[in-house]
């Protein structure tokens, strides 16, 4: 699967975003090494901190299906906004634990694709090895 195809899956997931407060829809898609695409979207809540971002939704969905970091080939995160938005701080922390540091992350809107990794997004991060 090409990154463009994975991004299209993320745009399909974006349509399911529940965003009555921000009206800022985000879609995500995890690609596993067996070719499965697992969607995620942001889901807000009247108790704002109870909402969840699209990329965490997709990654948690992947883990709930039995996939782990060794199984994840890529993550795409998309918006309809004018900017290519990076993951928020909480998502960066979650991605840093649930994906390998060098797994491709595609950030996109309708005009632009940026490719990065969590190693690039979160250098010197806190992780499980710090609790050992």
Active-site residue 97, yes or no?
no
Three-class DSSP category at 59 = helix
What minimum distance in Å lies between the beta carbon of 2 and Zn ion?
Answer: 25
What minimum distance in Å lies between the beta carbon of 56 and Zn ion?
Answer: 6
* Between 62 and 132, CB nearer to Zn ion: 62
Choose, from 4, 5, 44, 55, the residue flagged as catalytic: 55
* Between 35 and 48, CB nearer to Zn ion: 48
What minimum distance in Å lies between the beta carbon of 17 and Zn ion?
Answer: 13
User: H helices of 1-132, where?
Assistant: 3-14, 54-64, 89-98, 118-121
Letter string b/e over residues 17-56, b meaning 16 or more CB atoms within 10 A of that residue's CB: beeeeeeebbbbbbbbeeeebbbbbbbbeeeeeebbbbbb
Interface ranges with Zn ion (CB under 5 A): 53, 88, 91
The residues that are catalytic are 55
């Amino acid at each position: 699967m090409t990154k463009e195809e994975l991004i299209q899956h993320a745009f399909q997931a974006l349509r399911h975003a529940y965003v009555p407060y921000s009206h800022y829809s985000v879609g995500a898609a995890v690609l596993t090494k067996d070719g499965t695409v697992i969607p995620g979207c942001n889901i807000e809540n009247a108790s704002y901190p109870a909402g969840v971002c699209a990329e965490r939704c997709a990654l948690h969905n992947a883990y709930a299906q039995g996939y782990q970091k060794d199984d994840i080939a890529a993550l795409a995160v998309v918006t309809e906004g004018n900017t290519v938005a990076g993951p928020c701080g909480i998502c960066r922390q979650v991605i840093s634990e649930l994906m390998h540091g060098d797994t491709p992350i595609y950030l996109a809107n309708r005009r632009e694709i940026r490719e990065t990794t969590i190693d690039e997004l979160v250098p010197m991060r806190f992780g499980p090895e710090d609790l050992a």
